Chains A and B, each alone.
Chain A
Amino acid sequence: MAEIAISARHVCKEYVIAGMNHDTLRDRIAHGCRSLLGRGAEKKDSPRSFQALNDVSFHVMEGEVLGVIGHNGAGKSTLLKILSRITEPSRGEVDLYGRVTSLLEVGTGFHAELTGRENVYLNAAMLGMRKVDIDKRFDAIVEFSGTQQFIDTPVKRYSSGMYVRLAFSVAAHLDPEILIVDEVLSVGDGAFQKKCLGKMDEVRRDGRTVILVSHDLPVVASLCQRAILLRHGRVVGNGQPQQIIEQYMSEAFTGTGISLADRTDRYTKGELTVQAITFLDDKLNPLQPVLSGQHLVIRVQYKCHVQKVFKDMRVMVVINRDERTSCIFSTDLVSRTPLDLEGSGYVDFHVPHLPLCGGRYFLHAAIENNTMTQDWVQYAAELQVLDGDYYGTGRMYPHDGWRGKGMFVDHSWRFERTS
């Protein structure tokens, strides 16, 4: 029977917000003098505190991989810091059963003046490894990093890629029973990332216990057996990664509180605006997250604020993930039918096979004609896509491809033997 590896009970963490917190000696002396003289009569404002974690309880079984997700400021980092003993909880307790290594960063303590070899020893010792163990694994570490030739060169002469590879290699060879990781997977180039994910998978298959904090939802979905969702320092979800990710994403936009219609960070004439963008499936039911290859409907709702017919308009949506690539959906690209807008309504873009790979995408929307832009909102919506079975063959996109992730393209092949 699996045993408990980590048990956290009612963990709270409060931070005192600076202000009443005497930050310099002068303040403290001044304050001391005032109260001595009896002039400390000014109202003693209680130090404002901020509850970073509030009654967080969970447990992780041996060999389980737990993902922790949540928005920025939800308490993920604080939780990690408490689990890694960097800071103490204000209340509550945590028990860890087994040797723990936590990686909040790769290459902690690397010193630019020291050689690769020296840094490996220093860094490994900092992560709690004994010298005899480092000696044993040294060759494996260097080989994994691919920096054999430069191992006796000071790391200040390393390229940033080499530096990160060496640092990650040390981390990858720690051999802990419990591993606590903070988004360190996103380092290095594609080929090295592949190696790292392979290593993570190995750790998992070896039956180690892992806590993984990540924004990379597909990684959480594929690596973790369970996930917890934090919001404002509380655990608001605990269960199947897929289910928790859905919960997280349904909060993603409603959570910000400002609806697209009310946003003011837009370029607009104020006469005709994009009111909302929603994602629907082929039966027009709400859909989020979306799987690659799924039938997706992007519904763009508009509203005219003046009594007028806007003639020959185009409604346009641009989806991108990074600054380099994007794809565009526009009413005038796929048809020559003129589109006249008045009152309010919506345009549905049907994408029969969503060609996007797993990841987080942003949508930008515009309504314009050839002479004038009526409304243009950047980052109008967020689309979370999970890797899905695009081709219906049961195969997924190779984890990173060999040049990062791209798009699915319909293709076929034919084999012919010529001799």
Chain B
Amino acid sequence: MNESELQQAAPLPAGTLASAVRTPTVKIRPSRGLFHLDLQSIWQYRELLLFLIWRDTKVRYKQAVIGAGWAVFQPLISMLLFTVLFSYLAKLPSDGVPYPLFAYAGLLPWNFIAQATSRSGTSLVGESHLISKVYFPRLIIPLAAASAPAVDLLCALLMMIPLMLWFGVTPGWQLLFFPIFVVIALLAALAVSFWFSALHVKFRDVGHIIPFFVQFWMFASPVVYPASLIPERWRTLYSLNPAVGVVEGFRWSLLGQRPPSLETILPSVGIVLVLFVSGIVYFKRMERTFADVI
């Protein structure tokens, strides 16, 4: 049968007009425009998001003798190491807080951001078998990979209580701001994840950059030293680092030392928001070709 015959042989069946009135459950169109974000589909798949977070956490600590204990041991060991290196040997100041506590409070958000970055940056490529075989909003993958370390953050946070009792530091009213900084930490982690994971699909170089980037980023953030150590005139530039506001905010709300200046917090939080929104837009734009490129 040739094509012209075919078109005659397949007229629209009766009932087409009637069904034209119905709205399709699923419309498939080539997507256009930068801001076609379709975020409600993520809400539809929220259970899958939770399942994936749960899977990542479960698989991570399966067959490990102390299991989730690692979430606490890692920052504790880093804390001891940093105390010896940076406080005992290098004599770095710690804004009047006992250095171990200072370091641990900084490691909480930092470990979270670092984990989220390194785990979610390669997440799309790691789940390529899913991307080429089943549909769900792709944003779910970096969302899950970046949120899973929040479970570790929670475990590590519990350890903060005995530490504060030991050093005799009681939190003040600033603690009320803590949840806000947790949200900002999450946004920062997601922002970086969206950018890296989407870039990684096309440029595998990203996979090589991430470990190096995370290491560099830590020393560019006030994790082992206080932000007050940075000379005044460089402070604004320094605060463009999205991790600065988060780390400083964590420390202040938990330990209640001298409040960080708004000039440090605001640019940092601003950058987080800019990266977060642009990250989603970039991701959604690249998403169209993920299955073809991956």
Q: Which residues of A are interface residues toward B (Cβ below 8 A)?
A: 1-4, 15, 23-26, 28, 58-59, 61, 81-100, 102, 104-105, 108-109, 111, 113-114, 118, 121-122, 125-128, 130-131, 234-239, 247
Contact = CB atoms under 8 A, between A and B. Distances in A.
A2 B22 CA distance: 13
B134 interface: yes
Interface of B: 1, 3, 6, 9-10, 12-16, 18-19, 22, 24-31, 45, 47-48, 51-52, 55, 58-59, 62-63, 129-136, 202-205, 288-289, 291-292
A168 B116 CA distance: 34
Given A95-B24, A97-B25, A111-B55, A237 B291 contact: no
Contacts of B29: 88-89, 93
Given A108-B134, A109-B130, A125-B47, A236 B3 contact: yes
Contacts of B52: 122
B6 A235 contact: yes
A97 B16 CA distance: 12
Contacts of B16: 4, 59
Given A4-B16, A109-B134, A128-B136, A58 B28 contact: no
A297 to B, nearest CB: 27
A219 B143 CA distance: 41
B132 A89 contact: no
22 contacts: A2-B15, A3-B18, A3-B22, A4-B19, A25-B205, A61-B13, A86-B131, A87-B291, A88-B288, A92-B30, A93-B27, A94-B26, A95-B26, A104-B133, A104-B134, A108-B130, A111-B59, A113-B62, A114-B55, A122-B52, A122-B55, A128-B45
Contacts of B19: 3-4, 97
A25 B203 contact: yes
Contact of B134 (A82, A84, A87, A113): A84
Contact of A91 (B30, B129, B291): B30
A102 B135 contact: yes
B291 A86 contact: yes
A1 B55 CA distance: 46
A8 to B, nearest CB: 8
Contacts of B48: 125-126
Contact of B15 (A1, A85, A98): A1
Given A95-B28, A237-B6, A1 B14 contact: yes
A355 B5 CA distance: 37
Contact of A126 (B14, B27, B130): B130
Contacts of A247: 1
A98 B51 contact: no
Given A1-B14, A126-B48, A237-B1, 7 more contacts: A85-B28, A86-B291, A88-B288, A108-B130, A109-B130, A125-B48, A238-B10
A26 B1 CA distance: 50
Contacts of A89: 28-30
A102 B205 CA distance: 33
B9 A238 contact: yes
Given A26-B205, A237-B6, A85 B135 contact: yes
Contacts of A24: 203-205
Contacts of B26: 85, 94-96, 100
B10 A84 contact: no
A247 B63 CA distance: 56
